[in-house]
Amino acid sequence: MGKLIVHQDKITSAEIMEAVIAVCPFNALENNDGKLDINAGCKLCKLCVKKGPTGVMEFVEDEVKPSVDKSKWNGIAVYVEHEEGVIHPVTFELIGKAKELAAKIHHPVYAVFIGSDIKGHVDELRHYGVDKVFCCDDPELKYFKIETYTSAFEAFINKVRPTAILVGATSVGRQLAPRIAARFKTGLTADCTILDMKENTDLVQIRPAFGGNIMAEIHTPNHRPQMCTVRYKIMNAPERSESLTGEVEEFTVSKDKLKNRVDVLKTTKKPKEQSIENAEILVVAGRGIKKKEDLAMIEELAELLGGQLACTRPMMESGWFDAKHQIGLSGRTVRPKLIITCGVSGAIQFVAGMNNSENIIAINSDPKATIFDVANYAIVGDIYEIVPQLIEKIKKGEAIVA
């Protein structure tokens, strides 16, 4: 952390005062009887330092003494998300990223598998090139209960001391990761979109911040382990190898640590439903849709292409869609083979949830729309003219539907 310092002697005119105040997007700078003050609205974004009049504002980093010997922490661990031993695909994506990060610092990659009757599923992880699978198999871990799983994960960290831990941003991961971070009094960055590794083993964690207006680069230089969660469909999973690599090591947790104040009396499985996360083709409705009835043409296009309908956050908030159809940081992350956006401006929150799609076709009447920055094909025009024409061509067989 750090603090902003105002050099009042540099404010030699009313024009300079006004120029500094105008730079702040949060209205955190104010003129108090000729003195420039910083109010509680300050987010420490440092724009006043970077873009304000030279020398008026200065950011000073707090001097923090390292509280950890980094040399004693080794390896990058991936938490294995699973349901009754069936491994969630986000795990393989995180293994791929962990291997990439570990190669930069010559560390091993570990998989942490916690559950009951899971030994028969361990070898599947070894097809993806991990150096070691740490398996905790205990009847008390049959159901995900936050207290018992936290204790098991804590036992692994105390035993292995990994420098970084990657967790899927699933409903389970979002419960477990904060508990672990609290136990070790370390940092946790949620919903990272980019990860990198410094030579000194500091994990570079990048995610959108301040409503998606900036990309924040976050470090945990003085604590270990470093922790982050990553959404499904953000990273690339490695190719599955036919051969098995790596070792398997079992670890146990004392029975008193597995005591829980919650008992699972019954489980009811939700019926399976189509998810936009697994769709190969998506057609997205944006704010360019004028009224709910007009969604019919977007839905027809999706049906003709054999795809699914999705939306942006404003469309969900208007009540036109369920939340499960929303793409973006506050919705779902998708990676289809083809995505067509209709009247979508391209806010960073939305783009972060779909910019890894194989082919992006954007239709928007504004030639300066930011969605065109990530699109493979840009169509500048009115969706009310273009979409009906596209539908007609598909029906006549003039457009190819793969």
Query: According to the annotation, is 330 in a ligand binding site?
Result: yes
Nearest 5°: the CA angle 118, 124, 129 is 130
Query: According to the annotation, is 326 in a ligand binding site?
Result: yes
d(CA 259, CA 400): 60
Query: According to the annotation, is 203 in a ligand binding site?
Result: no
* Cα→Cα distances 170→90, 190, 336, 388, Å: 9, 11, 19, 38
Residue positions counted in the chain: 402
Copy the structure tokens of residue 166: 């990657």
Query: According to the annotation, is 27 in a ligand binding site?
Result: no
Sequence-separated (6 or more) residues with CB below 8 Å from residue 110: 75, 76, 77, 78, 130, 131, 132, 133, 134, 160, 162
> What's the CA dihedral at 81, 87, 89, 92 to 10 degrees?
80
Query: According to the annotation, is 383 in a ligand binding site?
Result: yes
What DSSP designation does 216 have?
A: E
Query: According to the annotation, is 173 in a ligand binding site?
Result: no
d(CA 150, CA 100): 27
Sequence-separated (6 or more) residues with CB below 8 Å from residue 209: 215, 216
Query: According to the annotation, is 328 in a ligand binding site?
Result: yes
Query: According to the annotation, is 332 in a ligand binding site?
Result: no
d(CA 107, CA 128): 16
d(CA 37, CA 54): 17
What are the beta bridge partners of residue 57? 6
Write down the residue that tokens 């005119």 correspond to. Answer: 13
Query: According to the annotation, is 126 in a ligand binding site?
Result: no
d(CA 147, CA 130): 27
Phi, psi values for residue 281, rounded to 5°: -135, 130
Annotated binding site for FAD: 287, 312-313, 326-330, 364, 382-383
Annotated binding site: 287, 312-313, 326-330, 364, 382-383
